[in-house]
A and B are shown apart, each in its own frame.
Chain A
Amino acid sequence: MADPTTRFDLVYDRHYRDVLAYCMRRTEPADARAAANRVMEIAWRKLDDLPSGDETLPWLYGVARKVLGHHWRGIRRRRRLENELRAQRGRTQVDPGQVVVMREELEHVLEASALLNDRDREILRLAGWEGLSHRQIADILGCSVATVDQRFHRAKRRLAEKYDTVTLARTLRRVVGLDNPGGAR
C-alpha cells in the first residue's frame, strides 16, 4: 500500500479539479477554491478513512457538500438568494477567452432549478453535473438507492414544472413589455 504522502498526492492529482468544479457549481469562485482546499485538508487528515477506487470521489463530494454547508452557510445563503442566477451565468465563463452565450432555455432551466428546494436541486446536480450513479448519490446523501430513485424522479418532475412556470412568466413579461429594454421604466 502506498505511503500516506504518495496516496494523498494521487488523490489530489486525480480529484482536486473535480472537487473544485463541484464547489464552483454551487458557490462563488473564491469561496469554491477555499472550500475545495478545506476538503483536501480533511482528506489529508482523514486519509485512513478515505475509500479507494471509485468510491474516493463520491466521498470527497460528500465532504464538499458538508463543507459548503458549514463554512459558507450565512454568506452563501444570502448570496444564493440574491445572486444565484447572476453567479451561474458568471460561472459559465470558465475560459476567459471564450464568450459563452447562454441559450435562453438554459437560463430558464437554471432559474427553474433555483426555485427547487435544496434537496431536489442537489440530487439533480449530483446526477446531471457530477454524473454520479444512484448508488454513489445514496452514499453521499446517506440514504438507500431506492430513496434516491424516488427523489430523483420527483426532482425531475418538479424541475419540469418550475421550468414551465419560468418560461410562461418570461413570455408574459415579454408580451406586456416588462422585458423590453427599450420600453418604459
Chain B
Amino acid sequence: MNTPEHVFALFIEANPVADPDQLDVATESEGEIVHDVERDVLTEKRRPVNGRGGVSLQRGWKPAMVAASVVLLVGVIGLGALVFNATRSGPVAAESAVMEVFFDGEACTYTGPTELLPGNGVMEFERAPGTEPVVLYVHTIVGDDVGMDELLDWAATHPARAIPPWLGRNGSVLLEDGATSMRLPFEFTEGRYGVSCNTSPNGTDRVFVGAILSVTPG
C-alpha cells in the first residue's frame, strides 16, 4: 500500500493550475466573462462589473440615451402592466398555499407562491436521500432594502454561526439521520421572509438561499 504522504504528494503534483501566474486573465477570446472595473459616471465610484467590460456611458451620449431610455421604459411599463394584469393571481391564503422546499445537496429549491396572505401555513421540506443533515429556516427579513442580492451575499460571505442583524430566525426544522421529509407549520404575519436550507448540525455552515416570501394583508 502506498503511504498517505506519498499519495498526497502525488495529489499536490496533480494540481491542474499549479501556477496561477500562468493564467491569462485578460483574454475574452472564448466569450468568457472576465472581470473588469469600470468607472460609473453617475456616481464617480469605481465598481466591478461582469461581462464584456459593461457599458460605459459617454457624457456626449447621455441626453440621447436618457431620452431613449425613458421612451423604452414607458413602453416596457405599459407592456408589463398588460401582462401583469392578464396573469396576476394575487397573494394566496397561507392556509391553502402549497409550499415545498427541496434540498438536493447543492440547491435549496422553493416551489409555491411567493406572495401570501397572513395566516397559518405549512411548508413541506424534503431532502434528497444521501444528502448531509440540513435545516430549513424561515427568517423574518427586517428592512425594506434587503433583497435577494443581500441574501446571496450573506450566504456567500457569512462566517459560521453569524446571522446578520436584518434576519430574525422564526422557524426551523432539521432533517437528519434517516429522515428525508418533514413539515414546518408556520404563522405568516405581514412582512417578508427568507427561506433557506442550512447544512451542518448547527445549521450555520453553508447557507443555500431558496426564496423570499412576501406576506401582505391583501
Residues of A within 8 A of B (CB): 5, 8-9, 12, 16-18, 20-21, 24-25, 29-30, 33-34, 36-38, 40-42, 44-46, 49, 62-63, 66-67, 69-70, 73-74, 76-77, 88, 91-92, 94-95, 102, 105-106, 108-110, 112-113, 124, 128-129, 141-143, 156-157, 159-160, 163-164
B residues with CB within 8 A of A:
1-8, 10-17, 19-23, 25, 30-35, 37, 45-48, 50, 105-107, 152-153, 155-157, 159-161, 204-209
A42 and B205 contact, CB distance less than 8 A: no
What DSSP secondary structure best describes chain A's contact surface? helix
Is the Cβ of A112 less than 8 Å from the Cβ of B153?
Answer: no
Given contacts A37-B34, A42-B157, A142-B159, 17 further A-B contacts (CB under 8 A): A17-B25, A18-B20, A20-B25, A30-B32, A33-B33, A34-B32, A44-B48, A46-B153, A46-B157, A70-B209, A92-B16, A94-B17, A94-B23, A112-B7, A142-B161, A156-B8, A160-B8
Distance A113 CA – B11 CA, assembled complex (angstroms): 8
Quick check: A30 and B157 within 8 Å, CB to CB? no
Are B206 and A66 within 8 A (Cβ)? yes
Q: Which residues in A have their C-beta under 8 angstroms from that of B208?
A: 69-70
The answer to whether A36 and B156 touch across the interface, beta carbons within 8 angstroms, is no
Taking CB atoms, residues of chain B closer than 8 Å to A46 are 153, 157
With A17-B25, A66-B206, A70-B209 in contact, do A128 and B8 touch (Cβ < 8 Å)?
yes
- A25 B35 Cβ-Cβ under 8 A: no
- A25 and B16 form a contact (CB under 8 A): yes
B30 A42 Cβ-Cβ under 8 A: no
Q: Which of B14, B33, B37 meets A9, CB within 8 Å?
A: B37
Q: Verify A73–B107 contact, CB threshold 8 A.
A: yes
Set of chain A residues within 8 Å of B14, measured between Cβ atoms: 88, 102, 106, 109-110
**Contact yes or no, A21 B209, CB < 8 A:** no
Q: Hey, which chain B residues are within 8 Å of A44, CB to CB? A: 47-48
By the criterion CB–CB under 8 Å, are A159 and B157 in contact? Answer: no
The 10 closest A-B pairs by CB, nearest first: A142-B160, A73-B106, A21-B20, A91-B16, A156-B4, A17-B20, A21-B17, A106-B14, A128-B12, A160-B7
Please tell me if the beta carbons of B50 and A41 are within 8 angstroms of each other in the complex: yes
Name 29 interchain pairs, CB-CB below 8 A, sorted by A: A8-B37, A17-B21, A17-B23, A18-B20, A21-B17, A24-B23, A33-B35, A34-B32, A34-B50, A37-B48, A37-B50, A38-B156, A63-B157, A66-B207, A69-B206, A74-B106, A76-B106, A88-B16, A91-B16, A94-B16, A109-B7, A142-B161, A142-B204, A142-B205, A156-B4, A159-B11, A160-B2, A160-B4, A160-B8
